[in-house]
Amino acid sequence: MEVYGTKLTSRLLLGTSQYPSPAILADAVKAAGSDVVTVSLRRESGVERAGQGFWSLIRSLGVKVLPNTAGCHTVKEAVATAQMAREVFGTPWIKLEVIGNHDTLQPDPFALVEAAGILTRDGFQVFPYTTDDLIVAEKLVEAGCQVLMPWGAPIGSGKGLNNRFALRSMRAHFPDVPLVVDAGIGLPSHAADAMELGYDAILLNTAVAKAGDPVRMAEAFRHAVEAGRLAFEADPMEPRDMAAPSTPVLGTAFRS
């Protein structure tokens, strides 16, 4: 898979917050086989680079860093956070989150599109966290986004794919844009489900970080994402209402 001209070997992107310790996070990233991790800057940073200790741990993982603007509620906040992230991590990549509601953490699509335009013109490569709305997605592409990251369900809810129909039409509508399901994944089966729909990758955090054994769960997700992708590429059979024997009935011996 390729995003903004960069080839990724893994289709599983991991968030870095809420782990029991940075050491467990490092082991989980290894077990997931991820080559991209996303890091939140807003809360952790504080003033005068006080988050440096954690950032250098992240950099030492040896994977690509996708900084994010988690916790930002306005265009202004998100743009400022993105600029700080570019300076700290030396990357034009930014996972753009502009939250519209404190409780549901759903994106504010209007502010999102506006911020995506501003950041793209400023040279950023924007990974927008969006809803499954097609029109918003179109506006994001018009604003310069070359990847779209619709939610499966609200952040941290672990509910899986809330609206498979919408996600399926999004895939059909944007056959050439890399699509990443971001948020709402709780189980490996949810991740496999999205990959079977033809999604290019999965971004998740809580499902691994808050598992009793995050490292083992990271491995489970690696298998699920790989399995879902393989299944998609293998062109699955169509379900049908009638039984169809896998062994032909014709020519078998007499049955009682």
List residues near other proteins by CB under 8 A: 20-24, 26, 43-48, 50-54, 57, 156, 212
The least distance separating other proteins from the CB of residue 50, rounded to whole angstroms, comes to 4
The least distance separating other proteins from the CB of residue 127, rounded to whole angstroms, comes to 22
Residue 88 or 225: the one with the smaller Cβ distance to other proteins is 88
Residue 62 or 212: the one with the smaller Cβ distance to other proteins is 212
- CB distance 116 to 123 below 8 Å: no
- CB distance 25 to 19 below 8 Å: yes
The least distance separating other proteins from the CB of residue 255, rounded to whole angstroms, comes to 50
Residue 61 or 203: the one with the smaller Cβ distance to other proteins is 61
Residue 44 or 226: the one with the smaller Cβ distance to other proteins is 44
Residue 57 or 134: the one with the smaller Cβ distance to other proteins is 57
Residues with catalytic roles: 95
Cα separation, 29 vs 16, whole angstroms: 9
CA 15 to chain centre: 9
Cα separation, 74 vs 22, whole angstroms: 30
The least distance separating other proteins from the CB of residue 17, rounded to whole angstroms, comes to 8
The least distance separating other proteins from the CB of residue 128, rounded to whole angstroms, comes to 23
The least distance separating other proteins from the CB of residue 126, rounded to whole angstroms, comes to 24
CA–CA distances in Å: residue 110 to residues 4, 65, 164, 205, 236: 23, 26, 23, 25, 37
Residue 48 or 238: the one with the smaller Cβ distance to other proteins is 48
